[in-house]
Amino acid sequence: MFTGIIEETGSVARVLQGGTSGEIRINASYVLEGTKLGDSIAVNGVCLTVTGLYDDGFTADVMPETLRRSNLGMLRSGDRVNLERAMAADGRFGGHIVSGHIDGTGEIASLRNEGNAVWVRIRAKEEILALIVEKGSITIDGISLTVATLGSDYFEVSIIPHTGAQTTLLKKKAGDKVNLENDIIGKYVQRLLEKSTQSSGITESFLAEHGFF
């Protein structure tokens, strides 16, 4: 489990992609402290298992499903990435519950300045937007952020200077892809409601027929 508080930005040393698998090597320093083989590190919000440790970085295997669902397959040597080690049991819970399992990608639509903050608008698919609420939590490339506004095909976050300086988000531009993870509590609620509706026989047409819509 992660919290979405980025510990360090690392750089991609290489990305190897085969027909059915891949491997990524990341240059880093801070997140190596106390890390062992088999530990988890979130790379742009994607939970990866450390398979190799070096003085200046680590390697991790990447499954085809991960490459399909995230922006890791688009990374190139030299690209900066957000890094966070799995939360320690005695650590502070500074962000929100982040699993490191990406729901999909969004696209940066625009960045605009307002005082000392930067507003970032992100377009996303309907299934991701359905689980977003204003003032709720969203994870963007592993960063725990609060949704400021929500539109029909987009949402916006406001980035403070500290977050901008400590992460890669403000180094991106319109058209870039970002990894998105919805609040896990919202996903569980949605699943429970779906199962409850199925078992009770209540459908959308039933509710409409009886005046609930």
Cα separations (Å) of 24 from 6, 27, 190?
A: 19, 10, 34
Q: For the chain, which residues make up each domain, given as ranges?
A: 1-88+98-201
Q: What is the pTM of this model?
A: 0.86
> Nearest to residue 140, comparing CAs of 84, 91, 186, 78?
84
Q: The domain 1-88+98-201: what is its CATH number?
A: 2.40.30.20
What 3 state SS string does 36-77 have?
A: CCCCEEEECCEEEEEEEEECCEEEEEECHHHHHHCCHHHCCC
Q: Name the token pair of 17.
A: 């992609």
The predicted-structure confidence for 74-109, as pLDDT tens digits, reads as follows 999 999 999 999 988 777 777 888 999 999 999 999
139, β-bridge pairs: 144, 181
Q: Name the token pair of 92.
A: 């502070």
The predicted-structure confidence for 43-77, as pLDDT tens digits, reads as follows 999 999 999 999 999 999 999 888 888 999 899 99
Q: Is the dihedral of CA 89, 179, 62, 168 positive or negative?
A: negative
